[in-house]
Chain A
Amino acid sequence: NAGVTQTPKFRVLKTGQSMTLLCAQDMNHEYMYWYRQDPGMGLRLIHYSVGEGTTAKGEVPDGYNVSRLKKQNFLLGLESAAPSQTSVYFCASSRNTEAFFGQGTRLTVV
């Protein structure tokens, strides 16, 4: 049982480049989330989804887009990366109580 899997684990981008982070869960969870973790800031919610085909903005959505075309996948896109988006990104899923987290993606924008 893989749980929540994030791809890739590490990435270095140049300013202005685009990329997509993939999150996949095999627990048939309705809810999925994308967070970013920065020192001293805790985890901040970027976007979330309450079901296939739905997305909603979190606390810090600017500069990111998401899609949930399939229930098991939640994609996070950066259209034009900026150094301020250097962070560790975590995906999570839940049935409606506790969330289960992936191992994170460390993204550096230079």
Chain B
Amino acid sequence: AQSVAQPEDQVNVAEGNPLTVKCTYSVSGNPYLFWYVQYPNRGLQFLLKYITGDNLVKGSYGFEAEFNKSQTSFHLKKPSALVSDSALYFCAVSSPGYSSASKIIFGSGTRLSIRP
């Protein structure tokens, strides 16, 4: 069965500092991994994905994530946080190639708060 864990309900960072939002996953086969962001009263916006290839993927708004197969992790990072990055972040996983694996499973979300 697929699952995603986001161990931190909330991450607090000062503006200008680097940020990390953690994600670990469990899946049979090779994973597709995603990060989404949700602003208040809005739908989810896609940030970035890992499908194959380079373990470091870059996405929107200066975010990047590193796929680590041995640790089954896909942490979201940004070198310098902005107040406007404050939002709810979701990690998600799918595993195409298996019979029921086209579904996308989400973690519980991490609220990122950037203080000025």
Contacts and interface: CB of A to CB of B under 8 A. Distances in A.
B100 interface: yes
Interface stretch (A12-20, A74-82, A100-108): A100-108
Nearest to B47: A98
B105 A101 contact: no
B108 A42 contact: yes
A2 interface: no
A100 B36 CA distance: 10
B108 A35 contact: no
A45 B94 CA distance: 12
A103 B92 CA distance: 18
Contacts, number: 57
A7 B51 CA distance: 32
Contact of A97 (B36, B49, B90, B109): B49
Secondary structure of the A side of the interface? strand
B107 A50 contact: no
B104 A99 contact: yes
Most buried by A among B42, B92, B96, B102: B102
Nearest to B108: A42
Contacts of A90: 43-44
Contacts of A102: 43
Nearest to B41: A104
A94 to B, nearest CB: 7
Contacts of A50: 102
A96 interface: yes
Contacts of B67: none
A45 B90 CA distance: 14
11 contacts: A40-B9, A40-B108, A43-B92, A44-B106, A45-B104, A48-B102, A90-B44, A98-B46, A100-B46, A101-B44, A103-B42
